[in-house]
Amino acid sequence: MKYLTRKKHYPVGLLAAIIIVLLTLLSPNDSSSQIRSGAAFLKMLPGSKQQSMANSLTGATDEFQSFYANPAATGFARLSYLSGSYTKWFADVYNVSVNYGRRITTPISSRANFALGINYLGVREFDSTLRHRESATAYDVLLTSSFGVPVSFISKNLSVGSNAKYLHSELSNYTAGSFIFDFGALYRTNRFNVLENLFEYGFVSFGAAITQIGKPLNFITYETPLPQTYRLGAALNLGSHNGLQMQLTADYRKVKDEAGRFGMGTEISWGYNFSLRTGYNFDDNMLSKLSMGLSVRFNGQSNLVNKVVANNNALRLDIAGLEGNELFDASYRGTINNYPIGPEPFDLILPVLNDTLQNNNLTFFWEMSIDPDLYDDVAYYLLVEKNDVKNDKKTRLHQILTDSEKGKVDIFQSIAENRLNLFYAKDSTFTIEKEIEQVSHHLRHLTPGDYYWTVLAFDRDKHYLAATSRINHFHILYPDIEIDSIKFQHSPWITESDTQGVFEITISNNGDFGAEKILTTVISTPLFADKNSSAPDTIYQDIIPNIPERSTKILRMTWLSTGQGQYKIDAHARIIKSKTSFGKEINLANNRNQAAFYTIPKGSVTTHDTLIAYITPKTDHNLPFVSRVFFDEQSCSVRTSYFKKSERIFAPLKLLAERLERRPDLIIKLEGIADSAAGETLELARKRVQAVRTILLELGVPDVQIPLTGMKWSFSNHRRKTSNQDVKEERRFVKISAHDVNDDSEDLSIFLSIPVKTIQKEAVPLPVEFASSLRGFIPIKFGHLFINSATLSDSVDIEYTGNSIDTLIWRHSMLNQIEWMQKTGIYHIGLVDTLNRFFRTRAKLTYLDNLNTHLPLTVGLAEFNNLKPYPIETWEELFTQLKLRLKYDKNVHIRFVGHACGIPPNTVNNKYSNIRAQNFQDLFLREVSKYKNKDSELYNLVKNRLDAHGTIGRGSLKPFSCTINYEKLLMDRANFDSRSRNQIEKIFKTPTNASSRLEPFNFEKTDNKIKLIGDNKTPEGRQINRRIEIQLFYPQTKIHAELSSSPN
């Protein structure tokens, strides 16, 4: 049957029943006066579980709609939830409810919960007047807000709560509304162990509430009191997380103006996933007392619901039913719930974000998490990562959390794979302080540095939740000792000490914590060195008391090394104690630094304090003492010139008498010679001896010094007749010899030459030799010897071989070489090696002295027609002066030059003069060889400097000559004795540029000089010309090309 409208029509009986129900639920029981409470809709609590367990949830916890029975249940609610119910009552009565709850933070508690609910009871349009009146509708809307909080200051197991509701009721054209309040309290025990073989945990909860407190509903003129209800309830919960679970509930309800009623409920579950429920209500007014229900839960990890349900949430479907009776069919209610099942949020406590710590024994604190499933447990993973990055998003922890949140990896597998990369990653047994709801764990021996940490809370089903702060960073203060640099400041001074220079070691504490007692060691190890260095050597080892954080310490130490070469310098610093017991470093790699350095040149450059830098050669031009008295033919008279200073430079016999007066240890022997070829007799020779003896006695010589036993006479060895008068003169003489009075040995010292003039040549600058022991490992690039005085300075390049300098020679500058003489010189050397390092020796002083050497020009005479020269008067003085000259003037050489008189032809004289010079040289060498042991230096000097080309014979081309300065002679005029003045006056009276004769010389007078020349016209002059001269000369080498070849 179709109707013009879509409104449904019901049988009269059924409509009557509906009206009765509506009147019961929505209207007062008495049409004239309301004596009992109405608003029966408020007695119908939403939720399938409520219905299936006979509304006995006043003492129950962990049910989302139970706050309608007891608002204190909100205080124990889960973190959040969303539920929706639909109830199909009998006929067209239906009920829809939506509820949402979540945890909020309030000033009084961080675990307060707030819930909102909309509960709608509706009746579809109906017509009970067979169209005599318009169709009617009826509905109730209940808006509920609930607030609950655990009363932690009394007990965290006690919760109180309240609901604030508004009821809007409409019946046909009649409406009414009222604000309603509920109050409740709920207490639950801690979990306890019970029946371990069947259950794991159990707990009991108790609740009490007063609900439906408010003003009556006012329909037109009639007030309908609210069903104010007093509720008491209890619940026993037993169960295992993955096994059997049971909940038994019991409620007592007392509605105002009604009798009290009991209700009981039972729920049996298996691991939360499937539940069966039943309840029985002892209310006689209920249409049905028995209720039943079932529940199925799907975890968010399930593939069936993971698209719409979060991983840590569950979707639960509830169905409840009331049995039917004669009037009504069975009614059903369905509920869908979405709620969290993983650990509840918690946060990290200590160390706080970016905390700075001064201890490496650290206790981590974090809030305790709660798993909302009644029989589940929460475990924790403490994850600590050591990382010096400054951004936690670059840590491995961040990567692990991010990848797992994005579903890329399983977080537990990722932790296992990264365990070695994390400082700490364990789900150890942690200390749980339930009273203060904190968890802690102590770690020891954390090394200093930067750390990142987090905690994962997870349940038995591996639902996990990271701490709210996610990742906290903390920093353990640490000293970080670093050897920044090793620098070597080489010593600029060249010495013989082991000092090489100064090392500058820069040590920094880059950390943020001061370091104490830093043991610093510096070791040198030869890399390429001489044999004096083979083993490592500790240059420095000491303890630095402290280095404050972020500061630098510079150590300076002297490097001492006996060897030469390249050395590796290894500097190492380590902390042996810090301000706290830990004091460890995060970075030990920078505690050591190495560098290679080279030693510096070593040795010395020295010379004597007083140095013979010049030699002034002085040549004594002395007149040889001719120990012969020559006579005229067939005469025995001694010429007056032999004993009177009238026509001679000196009177030989007079001079001999004077010398004998000073030598009483000598006696004189006389030997007279006659020329048999000229007819002279031995008697004449005897008379000549006697005449000389008489003259000597007259001159004051004691007769004991001229014994008669010492007189003899003979003929000349040359007996061939000749017409050459010069040759004849050489055969008529008396030879005088001196002998020791004791042993009769011949003594030539009495016949020392007579000084005439000493010729001083210009000082010869000698190459100044400096002894050097300089050695270095690095080759020398260039160097100079510097020498200075108060007014002069000079330098010379150093000659060197590779990396050593053995000898330094300074040759005076030609510009001012004489000016250095007898001045104090300040000398040092400066050099640069191939590493461009400059070095110098310390300045030293030396006095540049001059050495005067006196050598006689004439060292020997020879008889006429005799190749054997006379022995020299004294060898010792000659050798003394010669040694000085050869020692200091290292380039001068010696040779002997022979001269002859003008009697034979010059070709013979050349030969004779050379032979005489050679014979004298042989005699000279025999005398020198006597010094081989007692004065080896003299011996070697002479041996090495003797002219390798042999002696020289000059013949008669160069008679004996001596030049006297005229002005000097004039100045010394007054000093001559009276007996010499005749000779001097004769010289002065001689015209300039004229010549005259003064035995045994001829002399030539010029404006400035007087030159004496041996006279070959007299036997004495010829005797003087037959002489041997010593000559010092410089070979014509590159070094001495500028010097005279004949320095004496």
AA letter at 795: S
Residue 1039: what pLDDT? 37
How far apart, in whole angstroms, are the C-alpha atoms of residue 700 and residue 496?
69
Give the pLDDT score at 326: 62
Q: Pick out the chain residues at pLDDT < 50.
A: 1-34, 579, 581-582, 976-980, 1037-1047
Q: What domains lie within the chain, and their CATH numbers?
A: 12-258+270-286+294-299+315-340 (2.40.160), 348-476 (2.60.40.1220), 481-598 (2.60.40.10), 605-615+761-852 (2.60.40), 626-734 (3.30.1330.60), 961-1015 (no CATH)
User: How does DSSP assign 411-436, residue by residue?
Assistant: HHHHHHHTGGGSSEEE----EEETTT
Which phi-psi region, left, alpha or beta, contains residue 517 (left: φ > 0; alpha: ψ -120 to 50)?
left
In this predicted structure, what is the pLDDT of residue 15?
40
CA proximity to 592, closest of 572, 567, 575: 572
How far are the Cα atoms of 414, 526, 646 from residue 408, in angstroms, in the given order?
10, 58, 142
Q: Residue 917: which of 894, 937, 891, 938 has the closest Cα?
A: 894
CA distance 994 to 992: 5
What pLDDT, on a 0 to 100 scale, did the predictor assign at position 581? 46
The closest alpha carbon to 80, from 104, 96, 54, 56, belongs to 104
Residue 327 is classified by DSSP as S
From residue 604, how far is each of 381, 766, 842 by CA, in Å? 75, 22, 9
Span 784-839, pLDDT tens digits: 889 998 888 888 888 777 677 777 888 776 667 778 888 899 999 999 999 999 99
CA distance 171 to 732: 196
Q: Which helix (H) or strand (E) is 116 found in, with range?
A: strand 109-126
| C-beta separation of 571 from 533 below 8 A | no
| Measured CA distances, 920 to 149, 464, 620, 926, 950 (Å) | 141, 125, 19, 10, 12
Q: Between the CA of residue 104 and those of 67, 74, 114, 148, 1044, what are the distances in Å?
A: 16, 11, 7, 10, 121
Q: Which residues pair with 575 in a beta bridge?
A: 518
What pLDDT does 1041 receive?
37
What is the pTM (predicted TM-score) of this model?
Answer: 0.56
Our CA dihedral for 423, 427, 430, 432, rounded to 10 degrees, sits at: 130
pLDDT computed for residue 793 by the predictor? 87
Q: Which helix (H) or strand (E) segment is 405 a member of?
A: helix 396-405
Per-residue pLDDT tens digits for 750-772:
888 777 777 778 888 888 888 88
Question: And the tokens for 286?
Answer: 């209920």
